[in-house]
Amino acid sequence: MLNRLDLRGVADVARLLPRPEQVPEDVVATVRQIVDAVARTGDEALLSYTEQLDGVRLAQLRVSSATIQASLNKITPDLRVALEAAAQNVAEFHAHQVTAEHASELNGITVRSWDQPVGRAGCYVPGGRAAYPSTVLMTALPAKAAGVGQVVLCVPPGPDGQVADVTLAAAAIAGVEEVYSLGGAQAIAAMAYGTESVMPVDVIVGPGNVYVATAKQLVASKVGVPAAFAGPSEVVVVADASVPASYGAIDLMVQAEHGPDGLAWLVTFDDEVADAVETAVSELCTKAARRDDIAATFERSGHIVLVDDAQAAAAVVNAIAPEHLQVMTADPQAVIADVCNAGAIFSGPMAPASVGDYLAGPSHVLPTNGSARFGGALGVRDFVKTMHEITVSAEGLKGCGNHLMAIAKAEGLDAHAQSVRLRTDHLAEGFK
């Protein structure tokens, strides 16, 4: 079920690893067509694509506030308590990411800087086949912590045309009042360009399939989009004989069950571990509710990689730059110390990625498709813009005036130099 790659004795392991596939051109073309249609015709395109792609004809796109609040009484008490506990952890973690206003003064130049939240943030939450209330919390609460005034949620409708009660309950818990029964690339386009029903937003966040992730890239010149590609789920498990093979097997399956476009790799130093995990995967898959999705992921991008040691394992991880990294070895730090590319790291046998997916605190919206090389987990920084105010005293301008004019002259920008010269001349004449 898993493809095996033996890289023991290989100096440059990264060179021999399968590389992430580029987004197919036909997918890009389809997404561009959807985005352009929504930009041109607004709600008409949204309703048409929802009927075409989701199989439902909606009477209205927005979910009423009464429906959102009523959803809290439609879920079990245990689930509500669990969602509230998760919400508290996520909110508290992101509250610590808020940066205080800062001021610095040097030689008469004072700079005051602060983080200004965007006015309106759009959160995309996958749906349709399954409900993901955790993603509501993981997108909306960082925005709330950042101070965003209006948080918008788009969720694909289910077969009945409704958003799942558990998803709406999470929205109520997170304090989100604006929810749309709207999914796919068309939802991203609606939030970017605005329609008759959906006001445009300043930032769009949230995970999704390749169509959703591609749509976010296409509208990035119109709205803010985090640098990381939040696409299909990925995991790399580094394991040795210190943990049961079933741990490695189930943790590969945890991400693989999201769908066929993900990535699931086991990295180990031991043939026996590789064999045992592969056997455990086969046994567990026969009982898995989403065994077809898991099998499709494993067939397309499931690998077992054999390496010499912890350093070689880290080299594999860095080359893949996975969304989730799970390290279950006798000495996890021997691997983690050399890892620089990973969205989230789970260390030790008692830290399955599920803890991070639901309530550890950091957002589970993480970089995929190799974008962990330059991007990280969704956080407060994705919802703010740094602003600054510069104040210069008379003595400060006198002190730096010659430097400013010298640089302006070197760049051939005479008006820049003149803007300084006028002021320093006035100061020399006694102007205050």
Catalytic entry in 323, 364, 388, 411: 323
Q: Among residues 194, 198, 230, 235, which one has the least CA distance to residue 212? A: 230
φ and ψ of 176, to 5 deg: -95, 125
Give bridge partners of residue 112 from the DSSP assignment.
Answer: 103, 389
The runs of H, that is alpha helices, within 321-386 are: 332-336, 353-358
Give bridge partners of residue 392 from the DSSP assignment.
Answer: 109
CA atoms within 13 A on the CB side of 84: 8
Six-digit token string for 231: 């696409």
Question: In the annotation, is 323 catalytic?
Answer: yes
Cα separation, 152 vs 196, in Å, equals: 15
Give 3-state DSSP helix, strand, coil % of the chain, rounded to 5: 45, 20, 35
Six-digit token string for 157: 């409708």
Cα separation, 299 vs 276, in Å, equals: 18
Q: Which DSSP letter does residue 15 get? A: G
Cα separation, 135 vs 227, in Å, equals: 18
Sign of the CA dihedral with 360 first, then 229, 387, and 177 last: negative
Question: In the annotation, is 196 catalytic?
Answer: no
Six-digit token string for 274: 């590789």
Catalytic entry in 94, 258, 303, 324: 324
Q: Are strands 102-106 and 344-347 parallel, antiparallel or unpaired?
A: unpaired
Q: Which residues of 85-123 are buried (b: 16+ CB within 10 A; e: fewer)?
A: ebbebbbebbeeeeeeeeeeeeeeeeeeeebebbebbbb
Cα separation, 388 vs 241, in Å, equals: 54
In angstroms, what CA-CA distances link 185 with 178, 410, 432? 19, 48, 58
Can you tell me whether residue 194 is helix, strand or coil?
coil
Can you tell me whether residue 62 is helix, strand or coil?
strand
φ and ψ of 337, to 5 deg: -60, -25
Are 358 and 369 within 8 A, CB to CB?
no
Give bridge partners of residue 180 from the DSSP assignment.
Answer: 62, 154
- Looking at the annotation, which residues are catalytic? 323-324
